[in-house]
Amino acid sequence: MGNSSINQKEGIIRYSTVNDLEEILIWLKKQDQNGTTETFFVNRKLIIESHNNKELLVYIDPVTNRPIAYQLDALISPGILEVRADKRGQGIGKKLVEYRIKEARENDRCLLQIQCKPQSSIPFWEHMGFCLYGNENYAFKLLEKKLVLPINGTPCQLNISFYPEERIWEKHTDPIKVFTPLAVKIPDDGVYLSDRVAFFYIKKHFDNDLVTSIIIDDQQLYLDKAKYDQAKVLGIKKDGDAYYIDKINLKSQTKTQRTI
């Protein structure tokens, strides 16, 4: 990942060198001294740490061959995105975000998370497909994924629902989200989905565990907490606070022991 790079018409996106880091710290300090708004000199230790971990992404100006923007934390946790003050408004931040999204897809990530700081950045992040949540301008984006349906599979009806924990003892609890993707079933193998099913469980909105229901052709396959080992065996995976399903495994199928 550290050697990854991409050519852009306006510049080059790659991981930082020692010279890049020094240049960024210089213009960050100047901006701070000049009273530039929306600059992150105060977070220089995080920037240095990101560089040392070979995770600091930079945008190199094609004219000066110097870094004029950077991004850290890969959009998988609240991080920092900054473009040098005199280069803002030219779409450079968008290119860095697009690069990070492409990178996340290549790494098969499901969930991106950020904090919109300063608050004036909210319209930008919303334009990039992020959704706000919480009281501190946090935002998330679920990455969709197209999947291949086997040609030898039999079409089936699939219903995947996510519930609050009350569903375990209260049958009439309404689902938080319901998915009905196209799916085909191969006996003694699994149920293949046309699209990844992904759900971001916002813990600040719910005080308890998430319950997942899987129904295939009107038969309840699973109805219990998403965090249980049996859910993992069936193919319920986790990325941060997001749960997602690409395939439902039937080889080691066992009904949930809980009667609900």
Give the pLDDT confidence of 51-107 residue by residue, as tens digits: 999 999 999 999 999 999 999 999 999 999 999 999 999 999 999 999 999 999 999
Task: Give the span between the Cα atoms of 136 and 191, in whole angstroms.
Answer: 39
**Is 5-142 assigned to CATH 3.40.630.30?**
yes
Domain range list for the chain: 5-142, 154-249
pLDDT band at 134 (very low <50, low <70, confident <90, very high): confident
What pLDDT is stored for residue 257 in this prediction? 41
What pLDDT is stored for residue 21 in this prediction? 98
Predicted TM-score (pTM) above 0.75: yes
- Side-chain-facing half-sphere of 138: CA atoms under 13 Å: 15
Question: Which amino acid, one-letter code, is at 123?
Answer: P
Give the pLDDT confidence of 1-59 residue by residue, as tens digits: 444 454 445 699 999 999 999 999 999 999 999 998 889 999 999 999 999 999 999 99
Query: Is pLDDT of 259 > 60?
Result: no
List, as one string, the DSSP characters of the chain.
-TT-EEE-SS-EEEE--HHHHHHHHHHHHHHHHTT-SS--GGGHHHHHHHHHTT--EEEE-TTT-SEEEEEESTTTSS-EEEE-GGGTTSSHHHHHHHHHHHHHHHTT--EEEEE--SGGGHHHHHHTT-EEETTTTEEEEEPP-B-PPPTTPEEE-EEEEEEEGGGGT-TTPPPSEEE---EEEETTTEEEEEEEEEEE--TTT-SS-EEEEEEETTEEEEEEETTSHHHHHHT-EEETTEEEEEEEE-TT----S---
